[in-house]
Structure 1
Amino acid sequence: MQNTYIPLAERLRPQTLDDFIGQKHLVGQSGVIRKMLANQKISSMIFWGQAGVGKTTLAMLIAKTLAKPFFTLSAISSGVKEVREVIEKAHSQAATILFIDEIHRFNKSQQDALLGAVEKGIITLIGATTENPSFEVNSALLSRCHVYRLYPLETNDLNQLLSNAIKFLEREHIHQQRKILLKETEALLRLSGGDGRKLLNILETAVNFAFENSTDENIVLTDELVQQAVQQKTVLYDKSGEQHYDIISAFIKSMRGSDPNASVYWLARMIEGGEDPLFIARRMLILASEDIGNANPTALALATNCFQAVSYVGYPEARIILSQTAIYLANSPKSNTSYVAIEKALEVVRQTGDLPVPMHLRNAPTKLMKNEGYGKGYQYAHDYPLNFALQEYLPEKMAGTKLYEPANNPRENEMRARLKQLWKEKYGY
C-alpha cells in the first residue's frame, strides 16, 4: 500500500492544551477556554481568525479534553443533509460537539438547520471562520454562540513553533545524523504572515530542499535557502476574505486622503495578491465621483477609461494603468458634494413622499393635457439672456430648498459664483 503523505503541521498537531502555541487570551492559565474546560462545561462558539492560527486544533482539543463525541464537517463539501445526519446521531450521544470549518460558506438554510439543535443543547456547535461573523453568520445562530477572536501568531509563538518543528524533523531524519541549524528566520517569518500551518509547510519544504541538494554535515537554514526552496514569495491576501475588504478600504482611504505613496502601496498589495484588476478599477471609478466629483470632473473620465483599458489589457500591463489612475486620483482636489447632495435629496424624498410636479414643468404631449394646463407658463431657458430663466423647478412645498452646497475648491467656487449670479439670494449661494 502506498504511504499517504501527512503534512508537517498535521504531524505536529498538539495533543494537549499545554502543547498549544499562541492564543493566550483563550488557552493561557487565565484563558476563557481553559476555565471552561476546567469546569467541564462548554457552550456553542465561533472561532474567528485567519488561516493557520489554531481554530481546528483548538476545537479538537476541546472535544478530546471533555471526552465528548466529536463530528467535523466542512462547509465547502457539506450541506443540510450532512448537518441533519449529525444531529440525528447526536440524539443518542450526549453532549455531541459538531465542528464546522468555514461556517461562513453555509447559506441561510444550512445555518438555519443548526438552530434547533443548538438551542436545545442536542449539539454544541464550534464554528470556524476567516470572515467577520457579524456579516457572514445569521443573527439567529450568532446570538446562540460566543464569538472568540484568534489572532495571528506572534514572533515568539512562531519561533517556538520553529524550535519544536526542527527537533521533530531531526528525529525523523535521525538515520542521516545531520543537525538542522536555524541561522536566519526573517524569510520564514515574513512568508508565513502569522500563519502557523504555512510556517511549518515552508520550513518542511526548505529542510527537504536542503537534504536533497546539500551534502554538508549540518543543514543550515538561511533566508536565501528558504527563498530558493519556496521559489516565489507568498503574499498574504485572501481575495474573498476579511483582508480583501481591509486592503481595498486602505486603498480607497489613501486616495481620498491625497496620499499617492500609500495608494500605490496598497495597490501593489492587491496586484501581488492576484486581485481582479476590474474590481480595483471599479472602486476607483466610484471614488472619482464620490470623493473628487466636480472638484475635478476629469477624474471620472480617467477612471472610466482606466476601467475600459484594463478590461482590454489585463495583467501584467494593467498594473501600469491602475497605478497611473490611482496616483492621479490621489493628487486630485477632493469634493464629496455630489454624494452629500444626493443623500440629502433621497432623505427629503423619503420624508415628503410623492410631491406633485409643478404644472409648468409637466409634459404635454396631447391637446387634452395642454387644455388641463400641463406645461403652461414654462419658460424655455434658451430664449433668455445667459440661457437662464428665473422660475421654480422644485415642488411648491420645497421651493427654495438647497440640496447642493459647493465645496471650497477652484472649480466649485466658480460654480458657486455662477449660481449666485443666476439665483441671487434664493438659495443662499
Structure 2
Amino acid sequence: MDNITRIVVVDDDASLLFATARILKSAGYEVTTAAGGAEGLEKIREMRPDLVLVDVVMPDIDGPTVCRRIKADPTLCGTYVMLLSSMQTASSQQAEGLESGADGYIARPVEKRELLARVASLLRIKQIQNALNESESRYRLLFQEMISGCALHEMILDPSGIPCDYRFLEINPAFERITGLTREQAIGKRVLEIMPETESLWIERYGRVVLTGEHERFESYSNSFNKHFEVLAYQIRERQFAVTFTDITERKKVEEQLKYNALHDSLTALPNRRLFEDRLDQTIKTTQRLGGQAALLYIDLDGFKPVNDLYGHDAGDIVLRDVAVRIQSCIRTSDTAARIGGDEFVVILQDVAGREDARRVSQKIVDAIRQPFMVSAQECRVGVSIGISLFPDDGNDPKILMKIADQAMYAVKKQRIGKQVQS
C-alpha cells in the first residue's frame, strides 16, 4: 500500500478551488477537486481520502452537511474534515461547522504557509490516531484470541482501606471458556456477589498487587471453579488490576499422579521403600518429641515362590495384592504398611503400649495371611514370618531398627514357624 496522502478539495468558487489545490499539490499531496457538495461526496466515497477540505457555504450541499454525511459513513471513518470559510462567516456558522464533526477550521484568506501548516498538523493528528487505533486493534485482537483467560478488575476497599472485594470490568472469551462465567454474569459484578464462597486468599493476593503496585505470579486452587490456576496479577492503574491465568488442573493431576507413583508400589498401592523410610523417620521424631513407643514389623511371606511356579506370576500378583489388603485390615489408619521387596512388607505401628502390643498386632497379621487365597478358582496358602523391633528400646536409628526387625524375621524362618519373634 502506498504512502501518498490523498486530499479532496470541495468549493463552488473555481478560483479558490484551484488556488487551494495548487498549494497542496506543490507540497506533494495527491489532490482531487470537486465544484460542489454533491460532486464532492461522490468523489469522497470513491476515493476514501485522508483529508477533505470543504467550503462552508455552497449552493447545493453546504460544508457542515457534507461533513455530517462523511462522519456518518462507516467506510469513511478514517477521513478527516477541515472546513473552509471566509472571515465574514458568523461565529454561529463556525460553531455549526465544528458541531457537524469537523476536525479543523480555516478562515480565508489564508497564506500558503499557514494552509500547509494546518493541513500538516491535522494529518499528524490523523497519523497518531491511526497508530493508536492500530495498536488498540492489535491488543484487542490479542485479548480476544489469547488462549489464557484475562480479566480487568477494580479493587474494592473497606472504610479502613483494606481490600475486601473486587469488581469485574472486562473479561475475554478464554475467561468465559475456562471459568464457565459469561460476560452477562460477570461484568460490573463483585466477585463475592457472583461467588460468595470465594476464598479470601484471592482477595488478599490481588489486594497486595493494588496496594504495593508489584505484580504477583502464583499457582492456586479455586474451590469456586474446582480447578487449579497459574496466575499473573499486575496493577494497571490506581485500584485497578489485570489478571491472566491458565487452567493447570490436568497438569496438577499428572504431577500428583507422578508424585504418587514415585512413592507407592504399583502392584499393591502401598507406600514403597522411599515413602516408608520417610514415614519411619517422621515416626521416630514424633515419638521422641511426644514420648511413648513405636514398633517396626518386618514381614516376609513363606511358601510364596511355589505359588508363582504353580499358578504363574499373575496369580502371585493376586496373592500379593490380597496380602496388602489383609495387612491393612489389621492395623490403624495412623499406622503405615509398605511393600519394600518382592514378598517383603513392613509395618510402622505408632504409639504402641510396649512389646506385647506389637506382638498382638503381629499375630493378627499372621492369622489373616494364613487364611486361604483364591487363585484360578483354587485355594492356595502361604505362611508368614514377622520380626519386631521397638523404638526407643532397640535404638533410635532407622537403619538399626530395620536391621533388628530383619534379623528377628530370619530367626523365625529358621525355626520354620509362622509367628512373629522379637529381638
TM-score after normalising by structure 1: 0.24
- Higher relative contact order, chain-length normalized (CA < 8 Å, sep 6+): 1
* Richer in strand (by share): 2
**Structure with the higher fraction of residues in helix conformation:** 1
Structure 2-normalised TM-score?
0.24
The structure whose Rg is larger is: 2
